[in-house]
Amino acid sequence: MSNPSVRTLRLYLIVWLALMALVALTVASAYVKLSGFNLVTSMLISAAKTALVMTLYMELRREHGTTVVFALTGFFWLILMIAPTVADIATR
Amino acid sequence: MNTATERLHEQFDTSRQQLKASKLGMWTFLATEVLLFGALFCVYSFYRFQYPQGYALGSKHTDVVLGTIETIILLTSSLTMALAIRAIRLAQRRTSIALLLTTAAFGVSFLAIHATEYVHEWHEHLFPGHTFDATLRAVSGTEMFFTLYYVMTGLHALHVTIGLTVLLVLVELTRRNRFSPTYFTPVELGGLYWHLVDIVWIFLFPLFYLVSRT
């Protein structure tokens, strides 16, 4: 391999296998009664998948600090928007 | 003569700085994309807590098998996209073209499967409006669930279509030898867009297909 910054094929495949395992887990968890925690579970699994795609496939792990902050800002604003909305309905 | 080198714009001192600025710009754009879908996710959350029964009932009428297949297709297309960039870095131009085309093929099959779902749902009277199934309409929130389903998956499908166009342009540019192991910024940026579209689906899948399956 001429370029040392290139990741191994193995790593990409391991990430893919992990993603497939998480898909299986998402679907399986939906068929199990988790006493109200089904939504939380599926969102946590989705967040794990997103973390894998962002850090390794999108190479965020190798990006400059400023870029990482910019990348996470959108998600932070999203939480700011959704959390109070849900809190409002849940506490009525 | 084709040159696989980068043109340095005058506002930058080095190509490294130019690359960093390009990526920062792309991630900024992706943050606006997160918020574009974010507004819809917010509406989705509001009505989900307002009408839990309607969402549960509506979700039972989506096709979980096709939804799972679509999820696997998009995640696999992210793998081939990442590998296409890896191939360019290793100066494997032909492999890279093949992987970009594979990614596009996954995108096309995703859209094709989704189209069959839409057709099937239309015949099942699941499209909001005067043709909407009367028993489902009796449960409040069901029609809203399907409205959001079409708006959000439709907007996502539009993004897949844009991503496909970007992929085909990248294939053509790679074919014309425009990229090299030292310069492949457009492929990287196109890849980031493709991955983001995948991430949106990662959330859409459980929110529409898996609301209540127990």
Q: Is the pLDDT of residue B142 over 50?
A: yes
Q: Which long-range contacts (CB under 8 A, 24 or more apart) does A6-12 make?
A: A6/B86, A6/B89, A6/B90, A7/A56, A7/B86, A9/B83, A9/B86, A11/A56, A12/A56, A12/A57, A12/B79, A12/B82, A12/B83, A12/B86
- The residue written with tokens 């946590």 in the block is A44
B82 shares contact with chain A (CB less than 8 Å): yes
Nearest CB among B90, B192, B210 relative to A26 is that of B210
Whole-angstrom Cα distance, residue A23 to residue A19?
Answer: 6
CB B128 within 8 A of CB B143: yes
Q: Which residues are CB-contacts of A13 (< 8 A; sequence separation ≥ 6)? A: B79
Whole-angstrom Cα distance, residue B46 to residue A31?
Answer: 24
Cα–Cα distances (Å) from B113 to A22, B109, B118, B185, in that order, read 22, 6, 9, 32
Query: Would the CB atoms of B210 and A2 count as touching at under 8 Å?
Result: no
Q: How confident is the model at residue A1 (pLDDT cuts 50, 70, 90)?
A: very low
Best CA proximity match to B57, nearest among B117, B10, B126, B9: B126
Assign residue A36 a region (left: φ > 0; alpha: ψ between -120 and 50; beta: otherwise): left
Between positions 56 and 75 of A, the ones with CB within 8 A of B are 56-59, 63-64, 66-67, 70-71, 73-75
Whole-angstrom Cα distance, residue B177 to residue B175?
Answer: 5
Q: What is the pLDDT of residues A20-42, one digit of tens each?
A: 999 999 999 999 988 778 999 99
Chain B CB contacts of A33 below 8 Å: 214
Q: Which residues are CB-contacts of B48 (< 8 A; sequence separation ≥ 6)? A: B55, B211
Whole-angstrom Cα distance, residue B99 to residue B83?
Answer: 7
Residue of B nearest to A78 (CA): B38
A10 shares contact with chain B (CB less than 8 Å): no
DSSP secondary structure of B23-42: HHHHHHHHHHHHHHHHHHHH
Q: What is the pLDDT of residues B165-191, one digit of tens each?
A: 999 999 999 999 999 998 999 999 999
Decide if the complex's ipTM is over 0.90: yes
Mean pLDDT of B65-76: 98
The whole model's pTM is what? 0.94
Cβ contacts below 8 Å, chain A against chain B, sum to 135
CB A63 within 8 A of CB B26: no
- The percentage of residues in chain B with a pLDDT greater than 90, rounded to a whole number, is 84
- The dihedral through the CA atoms of B72, B78, B82, B85 has a sign that is positive
A80 shares contact with chain B (CB less than 8 Å): no
Whole-angstrom Cα distance, residue B109 to residue B112?
Answer: 5
Query: Would the CB atoms of A9 and B89 count as touching at under 8 Å?
Result: no
A51 shares contact with chain B (CB less than 8 Å): no
Q: Chain B closest CA to A59's CA: distance in Å?
A: 9
Chain B CB contacts of A12 below 8 Å: 79, 82-83, 86
Q: Is the pLDDT of residue A58 over 50?
A: yes
Q: Is the pLDDT of residue B196 over 50?
A: yes
**Residues across chain A:** 92
Chain B CB contacts of A32 below 8 Å: 214
Nearest CB among A23, A32, A71 relative to B68 is that of A23
Q: Which residues are CB-contacts of A40 (< 8 A; sequence separation ≥ 6)? A: none
